[in-house]
Chain A
Amino acid sequence: MLRSEKVDRNTLAQLVADDIEAGSFVNLGIGQPTLVSNYLTSEHDVTLHTENGMLGMGRAAEESEVDIDLINAGKVPVTETPGAAFFHQADSFAIMRGGHLDVCVLGAFQVSATGDLANWHTGAEDAIPAVGGAMDLAIGAKRVYVMMNLFTRDGDIKLVPEATYPLTGVGCVSRLYTDHGIFELSDSGTVEVLALFGLSFEELSSKSDIHFVDATSK
């Protein structure tokens, strides 16, 4: 897939939703990944998992529906769908760690060519560290998708040969969705470029030492 312009966050969320198979069990991380839920239709028949202990999570609660006992992993009040189920933390993370989820969608600071993920700590030594479920999510699902901008504000590419930020997980990212393209990652370190938006293959290659393979015409 080639597009002449970079895509916005909502379009990217739509592209992620399009790649989620019908009937999947899915966990959407906090932030940009949450947008994906706006594009999951009833035809997707996706069951959403939230790591604080629920399968079958519904949309965000309206003011009249707010229930302090019914929140998502971002502590936002949500609703339940018919067929929802609750379970405790050890069971919830067993669902994840046990490889039962089909897809997990996360945000990131950096992703390496071999699928290493950095999304929990900027490396600033004076920062108070907080990890939550990030490391469990990173290694838990059958497929781990990451959504992020391809470049930093300073123009540095965030898909890197080796992450410089503290790692969340090793070799765990399957596919990277960015405003400038979609990339399939593997242990080999060779990155398959599935789509480019507002960026040519040559421009991409010039910005990184990673070995890219052009699969945009597939």
Chain B
Amino acid sequence: MTKIADTAADAVANISDGSTVLMGGFGDAGQPMELIEALLESGAKDLTVVNNNAGQADAGLALLIKERRVNKIICSFPRQSDSWHFDEAYRAGEIELELVPQGNLAERLRAAGAGIGAFFTPTGYGTRLAEGKEVREINGRNYVLEYPIHGDVALIKAFQADEKGNLVYRKTARNFGPVMATAAKQTIAQVEEILPTGTLDPENIVTTSIYTDVMVAIQTQSTELAARERAQGAK
């Protein structure tokens, strides 16, 4: 059963200290900003965070890092022009970084959700990111053994949900949402709107309700952009 929370604060209330938190988003697209802000307010600490990046500017994940609530981050691209809070924590030795190629990050999350014990991937073979890892030659090609990344909680942003917890996404904001939803014990989704069950076309569901534990309706700019697009299409 998917629970519908009234507020972002209610949605994240059960996240405990020391949790591994998967956070959707690629840059700002698909980033569950309101859930992350609620997590910041909740005071949860000693977190391990999995995200493609390590926070931008003075918002969301960047503020969690600024407040030293993140002990470790697993990501592919921490260094950005506006990642100053991560940069400072990293240079001070106050955050552990596990750098993972983006495709390996996605596949390790997928593996966690799909019950795979580990997998061999060609990505990273022969590089410093594969140092110390088991390698194997299979049919003449070299592969590196990679293990799943399991989350205690996933925070994701989808576009629409039905009351049952089925989710659809919007454009490239989909990014890590669907795989993270499968990889955590508890998936918390913020969505633009929650529609009556039966409204969404079953053929188009991307994340099925079995993965969605908690959801909360929060309108963001995505709603306005979708309305703009509909208006342009109707012209």
Contact = CB atoms under 8 A, between A and B. Distances in A.
Contact of A88 (B77, B78, B126, B178): B178
Interface string A57-101: 000000000011111100100001000001111101110110000
Contact of B26 (A52, A93, A97, A116): A52
A58 B53 CA distance: 24
A131 interface: yes
B174 A136 contact: no
Given A86-B169, A87-B174, A68 B221 contact: yes
B76 A133 contact: yes
Interface of B: 26-30, 52, 76-80, 86-87, 90-91, 97, 99-107, 109-110, 121-129, 142, 169-179, 206, 221-222, 225, 229
Contacts of A135: 101, 103-104, 123-124, 127, 129
Given A54-B172, A129-B99, A136-B104, 8 more contacts: A52-B175, A68-B29, A69-B30, A93-B106, A129-B78, A130-B76, A133-B102, A170-B142
A92 B106 contact: yes
Interface in A140-169: 140, 166-169
Contacts of A139: 122-123, 125
Contacts of B175: 52-53, 88-89
- Chain A interface size, as a band, is 35 or more
A128 B90 contact: yes
Contacts of B172: 50, 52-54, 69-72, 86
A89 B102 contact: yes
A134 interface: yes
8 contacts: A69-B173, A72-B172, A89-B109, A128-B86, A136-B101, A136-B123, A166-B128, A169-B127
For the complex of A and B, 3 pairs with smallest distance between CB atoms = A93-B103, A136-B103, A170-B126
A86 B30 CA distance: 13
A57 to B, nearest CB: 9
Contact of A69 (B86, B105, B222): B222
Nearest to B157: A69
Interface of A: 50-54, 67-72, 75, 80, 86-90, 92-94, 96-97, 116, 121, 127-136, 139-140, 166-170
A71 B173 CA distance: 8
B77 to A, nearest CB: 4
Contacts of A168: 127
Interface centre among B30, B52, B206 (most CB of A within 10 A): B30
Interface centre among B30, B175, B221 (most CB of A within 10 A): B175
B182 to A, nearest CB: 9
A142 to B, nearest CB: 14
Interface centre among B78, B90, B101, B104 (most CB of A within 10 A): B101
Nearest to A121: B128
Nearest to B177: A88
A131 B78 CA distance: 9
A51 B170 contact: no
Nearest to A73: B26
B129 A90 contact: no
Contacts of B229: 67
B225 to A, nearest CB: 5
Contacts of B169: 86
Given A80-B171, A89-B175, A132 B102 contact: yes
A122 to B, nearest CB: 12
Contacts of A97: 103, 107, 121-123
Contacts of A140: 103, 123
Interface centre among A75, A88, A97 (most CB of B within 10 A): A88
A130 B97 CA distance: 10
Interface centre among A53, A54, A94, A170 (most CB of B within 10 A): A53
Contacts of A131: 76-77, 99-102, 129
Contacts of B225: 67-69
Contacts of A89: 26, 52, 102-103, 105-106, 109, 175-176, 179
Contacts of B142: 170
